[in-house]
Amino acid sequence: MKIGTQDQAFFPRDIKEKFLFLKEAGFEGFEIDGKLLVDHLDEVKEAIAKTGLPVTTACGGYTGWIGDFNEERRLNGLAEIKKILEALQEVGGKGIVVPAAWGMFTHRLPPMVSPRSQEGDRKAITESLLYLETIAKETGTTIFLEPLNRYQDHMINTLADARSFIDENQLRYVKIIADFYHMNIEEDDISEALHMNQDLVRHVHLADNHRFQPGSGSLDFKRHFNQLKEDGYDGFLTIECRVRGNDPQAEYMKALHYLRQSLG
């Protein structure tokens, strides 16, 4: 398993300098914002060639959710995701992280009654995934379907929820991304959920139980990494977290060291 990272505010803003910084820091891959990739494709290609640091995946960078309540936004989002997948193909990226939605509605906060039925939710997500399946096939990429916790989304909260869409529609180019932070809230046992879905988990996001940097909270990363090893997972572990501390960069490097120790 290799350790990658999303962007952070304390990374260099210049793309080539950013890639060089990550390479020298010891990261083995970069999960890029989709819009940044599309808008600066040539610069990203040059940065990859200069440093040898791969773009592993894209996350974000589109404006409509695959389960959006608004049909125009949903279709716009799909069009933008298509462009991101085409750009990922050009740089050798594996795929894009896609939740059903984020921050659109939750049953845990008022008004607590969704403006759309559960059947309507499933229809929107299914139509989106069937479309993206064709684009992923054409581009040789993967859609990483991400369950989010109940406070950020109401449609797909567990690995089993994500699996149901893949199995019911016999999707080959849609897999599951397991996010330790969301799993800490939604799964009875992170390791068990990873094991039960080992055939579909193809990407992993890392944050501690409180969403801050790994090693600063209570999650047992070593146990969960051992489960991934036992199940033969050989993909990326990508840090996606907030960072707290007086020196965020130093704290982030400390988290990277902690993760390497936990991997053994």
Catalytic residues: 146, 240
Residue 98 tokens read as 């896609």
Task: Write the secondary structure of the chain as one string of H (helix), E (strand) and C (coil).
Answer: CEEEECCCCCCCCCHHHHHHHHHHHCCCEEEECHHHHHHCHHHHHHHHHHHCCCEEEEECCCCCCCCCCCHHHHHHHHHHHHHHHHHHHHHCCCEEEEECCCCCCCCCCCCCCCCCCHHHHHHHHHHHHHHHHHHHHHHCCEEEEECCCCCCCCCCCCHHHHHHHHHHCCCCCEEEEEEHHHHHHHCCCHHHHHHHCCCCEEEEEECCCCCECCCCCCCCHHHHHHHHHHCCCCCEEEECCECCCCCHHHHHHHHHHHHHHHHC
Distance between CA atoms of residues 158 and 227, nearest Å? 18
Rg of the chain over CA atoms, in angstroms?
A: 18
Angle at which helix 248-263 crosses helix 221-230, to 10 degrees, equals: 50
Q: What distance, in Å, lies between the first and last C-alpha atoms of the chain?
A: 11
